Amino acid sequence: MWIIAGLLAAAFLAAGAMKALQPKEKLVASGMGWAADLSDVQVKLIGVVEVLGAIGLILPALLDIAPVLVPIAATGLVITMIGAVVVHVRRHENQAIAPSAVLLVLAAVVAWGRFGPYSF
């Protein structure tokens, strides 16, 4: 469970930081066409949500402070990735659907595991 949560945290931290720190135009130019349909604030908000989710996957359990936040963060990332998959499907961005779906499934595994049989 720690390995999956660590990999997810790294992926969401990198992706979220990129969305939160780079201008929307640069994201669109780098292949994130979906960002053109959203405002700057919405793109930054998605980035911040992903960064906070990444932090929530690791820090509460690592510090043993409110470890119930780990499955809650994972559930939040599942919801975020459902939105991502829907956006990519609607925009016919087939190359982006699979990575989003994989992150969704991994986040769901962490949520299930930490709420259930592998809770702290």
- Per-residue pLDDT tens over the stretch 8-51: 999 999 999 999 999 999 999 999 999 999 999 999 999 999 99
How distant is the alpha carbon of residue 76 from its chain centre?
8
Q: Is the pTM of this model over 0.75?
A: yes
Average pLDDT over residues 60-89: 96
Nearest to 31 by CA among 99, 104, 106: 99
pLDDT for residue 18: 97
In the structure, what pLDDT confidence band is assigned to residue 117 with cuts at 50, 70 and 90?
confident
Across 65-81, average pLDDT: 97
Backbone dihedral angles phi then psi of residue 38, each to the nearest 5 degrees = -115, 160
Q: What is the pLDDT of residue 97?
A: 96
- CA dist 58 and 82 (Å) reads 21
Identity at 68, one-letter amino acid code: V
pLDDT at 120 over 80: no
Per-residue pLDDT, 119: 79
CB 1 within 8 A of CB 114: yes
What tens digit of pLDDT does each residue of 81-96 get?
A: 999 999 999 999 999 9
CA distances from 95 to 12, 88, 105 (A): 18, 9, 17
Query: Which among 82, 65, 85 is positioned nearest to 74, based on CA atoms?
Result: 82
